[in-house]
Amino acid sequence: MLELRDLSKVVAGDIHIHPTTLTLQRGSLNVLLGPTLAGKTSLMRLMAGLDKPSSGQIFFDGQDVSGVRVQDRSVAMVYQQFINYPALSVYENIASPLRIRKVERAEIDRQVRRAADLLKLTPYLERTPLNLSGGQQQRTALARAIVKQASLVLLDEPLANLDYKLREELREELPKIFAESGAIFVYATTEPSEALLLGGNTATLSQGRITQFGPTIDVYRRPQDLLTARIFADPPLNTVEAERRGGAFMIGGGQSIEVPPHLRAVPEGAITLAFQPHHLSPRPQSSTASPLTARSMISEISGSESFVHLAFAEARWVMLTHGIYEVEAEQEMTVYLDRRHLLAFDATGRALGNSAAAQTGMEA
């Protein structure tokens, strides 16, 4: 078990990590999700022992390791910019942590070949990293992390520089590869979709502060606050100012949305409503869809999906729909919001009604 107790990092008066308390269990996969400069790498470097905290302590299995050198910890780290030994073969790169531990030659060979097989590197074992593609070099770094059999494995956006197909393959394989190791895995990403694909637990970060931590799907569906909801949205979260009046939320232009069952506890008065772009559609998808009139602005067509930009009162929304969907600019159109997925927040950004799930605390 890894415990961070009021851990912080301040550099030249700049707060990189606010006091953070977090508990990660053995055998767990934990995602750090946040935009660039949110503090993901800074937090991982503290976990690894590469940087010293300004305050607070780090405990591993009950032992205070705050001042223990990274060389003396059971840690493996894989970066976005893959790091391999250029003069060594792929085989020797993978074998290097085992040789340092003076593992027997036969056992080294068994573990290297097993890791190479898992990561489809067997045909390249005699090559040097400079003779590999970027994806093969990154897989070499991942294989070295696997054979190290570290208690803590830190993956800092490890797939960001890989092509789409390989990213998809490795996102599917990584949880399987690490599932039986009993190690703690921490995976940093800027992509909400990657966090959802990986599952496990997610900590959302903003400006060096963890805003929420818990099972990934729970954090996504039941954000505690508007900031967390924004972090977990790509394309950006749609919001609109509203007022609760009886059984309806009154929004721009005299339009309204029926209050769904999960938000019946929201008090009368001014609030902010929010929803994900894929919960807005050009056609009603269910009986819980509320029709709204908006003004079209532009369509961005990616092939399998279209991002339709809309103006609604003072708000700017994005509608994500399947297939090719073209619009003419400055045209009124009816769109349908699935109110089952509405989130509501008060003036401070705190979640209201059942959109705020009961927190299990900063432990999973």
Q: Which residues contact 153 (CB under 8 A, 6 or more apart)?
A: 75, 76, 77, 78, 145, 178, 181, 183, 184, 185, 186
Cα–Cα distance measured from residue 310 to residue 275, given in angstroms and rounded to the nearest whole number? 14
Average pLDDT of the chain to the nearest whole number: 89
Q: Which residue has the tokens 């921490």?
A: 186
Tokens of 172: 């599917």
Supply the pLDDT for residue 12. Answer: 92
- 280 and 331 share a domain? yes
pLDDT tens track for 287-321: 899 999 999 999 888 878 999 999 998 899 999 99
Cα atoms found within 13 Å of the Cα of residue 172, Cβ hemisphere only: 5
Alpha helices (H) along the chain: 40-48, 90-100, 105-118, 134-148, 164-179, 192-198, 216-221, 226-231
- 216 and 75 share a domain? yes
Q: Which residue has the higher pLDDT, 342 or 163?
A: 342
Q: What is the mean pLDDT of residues 189-215?
A: 94
- Angle (deg, nearest 10), helices 134-148 and 90-100: 20
- Within 10 Å of residue 163's Cβ, how many Cβ atoms? 11
- Nearest CA-CA partner of 86 in 34, 36, 132: 132
CATH number of residue 292's parent domain: 2.40.50.140
- 198 and 271 share a domain? no
Answer for the pair 43, 24: CB distance below 8 angstroms, yes or no. no
Q: What is the mean pLDDT of residues 244-270?
A: 93
Query: Does residue 362 belong to any structural domain of this protein?
Result: no
Cα–Cα distance measured from residue 332 to residue 312, given in angstroms and rounded to the nearest whole number? 10
Question: 109 exposed, middle or buried (CB, 10 Å; 0-12, 13-18, 19+)?
Answer: middle
CATH number of residue 207's parent domain: 3.40.50.300
- 222 and 248 share a domain? no
Query: Does residue 273 belong to any structural domain of this protein?
Result: yes
Query: Does residue 360 belong to any structural domain of this protein?
Result: no
- Strand partners of residue 271: 242
Cα–Cα distance measured from residue 306 to residue 298, given in angstroms and rounded to the nearest whole number? 10
Supply the pLDDT for residue 317. Answer: 96
- Nearest CA-CA partner of 315 in 327, 290, 297, 339: 297
- Nearest CA-CA partner of 337 in 253, 260, 226, 263: 260
Q: What is the mean pLDDT of residues 142-168?
A: 83
Query: Does residue 85 belong to any structural domain of this protein?
Result: yes
Q: Which residues contact 67 (CB under 8 A, 6 or more apart)?
A: 52
- 42 and 129 share a domain? yes
Positive/negative CA dihedral, 80, 97, 184, 207: negative
CA distances in angstroms from 76 to 144, 153, 281, listed in the order given: 9, 5, 44
- 177 and 265 share a domain? no
Q: Does the pLDDT value for residue 250 go beyond 70?
A: yes
Cα–Cα distance measured from residue 250 to residue 327, given in angstroms and rounded to the nearest whole number? 27
pLDDT tens track for 11-55: 999 999 999 999 999 888 999 999 999 999 999 999 999 999 999
292 phi/psi in degrees, rounded to 5: -135, 145
Point out the domain boundary residue: 171, 198, 229. Answer: 229
Query: Does residue 267 belong to any structural domain of this protein?
Result: yes
Q: What is the mean pLDDT of residues 133-152?
A: 86
Query: Does residue 363 belong to any structural domain of this protein?
Result: no
Query: Does residue 29 belong to any structural domain of this protein?
Result: yes
- Nearest CA-CA partner of 89 in 55, 37, 140, 129: 129
Q: Which residue has the higher pLDDT, 177 or 84?
A: 84
CA distances in angstroms from 87 to 128, 319, 322, listed in the order given: 7, 50, 48
Point out the domain boundary residue: 198, 213, 229. Answer: 229
Cα–Cα distance measured from residue 241 to residue 226, given in angstroms and rounded to the nearest whole number? 13
- 299 and 346 share a domain? yes
Point out the domain boundary residue: 229, 256, 284. Answer: 229
Q: Averaging pLDDT over each range in 71-80, 224-233, 304-313, which range is the top one?
A: 224-233
Query: Does residue 210 belong to any structural domain of this protein?
Result: yes
- Nearest CA-CA partner of 51 in 39, 64, 69, 63: 69
Supply the pLDDT for residue 32. Answer: 97
- 223 and 122 share a domain? yes
- 205 and 222 share a domain? yes
- 126 and 36 share a domain? yes
pLDDT band at 160 (very low <50, low <70, confident <90, very high): confident
CA distances in angstroms from 356 to 18, 148, 346, listed in the order given: 23, 41, 11
Supply the pLDDT for residue 89. Answer: 96
Range of the domain at 248: 237-355
- 177 and 270 share a domain? no
Q: Does the pLDDT value for residue 238 go beyond 50?
A: yes
Q: Averaging pLDDT over each range in 172-181, 285-294, 353-362, which range is the top one?
A: 285-294
The number of domains in the chain is 2
Query: 3-state DSSP call for residue 95?
Result: helix
- 271 and 291 share a domain? yes
